[in-house]
Amino acid sequence: MLVLTILSVLLAVFIGLGLYLRSLPLLELKSVGSLLTSSVWKPFKGEFGFFPFIMGTLWVTGIAIVVALPLCLLSGIFISEYAHHRVRKIIVPFVDLLSGIPPVVFGVWGVLFVVPLIQEYIAPHFVEYATGYSVLAGGIVLAVMIFPLIISILLEVFGTVPRELKDASLSLGATQWQTVKFVLLKRSMPGIIAAIVLAISRAFGETIAVLMVCGNLPEVPHSVLDSGYPLPALIANNYGEMLSIPLYDSALLFSALILFIIIFLFNAISRIVLSRIERRMN
């Protein structure tokens, strides 16, 4: 078991090392700073600026979390604390059903419904013209995709809160909402943070559905209505088709390395924050 555990941990190390070695041809010619801060993406001229793709990834992921977290948190509280057990038996299977839908179906739904919604009803209030293919569309589609993951984890976390604590709060005269606010949420805070971490980690790497609705323009988004080009979409759109261009293979694998490092750093920082919160609670 120790050997298998070490192998599973080393797998992540081997992935990162392999991506780094395949990125070396580009890193030997360009500095990491110039690659990360440049916005010029002209592969035919040997110019590889990853800043627009990094910002596109952050925009889409940030919008998805902002949209999904409040809805999922309130939905989880309702299902766990307020819904009748018959209603719960109906809602939970439908939530689980969302997790089994292929990403391409979410992408098609985004193209047919989310993009026209943004183009015809939301964007005209802010800009003169917009195609609807934007980081907002990608964030909304991605938010729906991570709904079942967050809600399922929250239901498990809320289920671990001892019933005695909630009964004690109610017996002291607290309302149902005060009990949820001061007992359930406070006790479940480490689990809620863990759910957010897992959701963001998945959101960072989602590809097919996002690339179908984001517009895929290598430009830095300045608003939610601008088109974006996340790193996973860059890899999925171009790997295997334009590798005859010098350094293009190395550039795409360097983008995968960037994504790998972003997710690794985010998870590491989240673990540190989570451990401090748990120590304060104990």
**CATH hierarchy code of domain 2-281:** 1.10.3720.10
Calculate the alpha carbon distances from 132 to 58, 144, 208 in Å: 19, 17, 17
Q: Any alpha helices (H) in 118-173, and if so which ranges?
A: 135-159, 163-171
Handedness of CA 255, 259, 265, 268 (dihedral sign): negative
Per-residue pLDDT at 209: 84
Q: DSSP secondary-structure letter at 124?
A: G
Tell me the two tokens of residue 48.
Answer: 């590889």
Q: Is residue 240 over pLDDT 80?
A: no
Distance, CA of 140 to CA of 169 (rounded, Å): 37
Q: What is the mean pLDDT of residues 176-197?
A: 87
Q: Which of 58, 133, 141 is nearest to 103 (CA)?
A: 141
What pLDDT, in 10s, does the model give residues 28-81? 888 888 889 888 888 888 888 999 999 999 999 999 999 999 999 999 999 988
What pLDDT, in 10s, does the model give residues 126-185? 888 888 899 999 999 999 998 888 998 898 888 888 889 888 988 988 888 999 989 898
Per-residue pLDDT at 282: 63
CA atoms within 13 A on the CB side of 157: 23
Handedness of CA 64, 53, 232, 215 (dihedral sign): positive
User: Bigger pLDDT: 201 or 182?
Assistant: 182
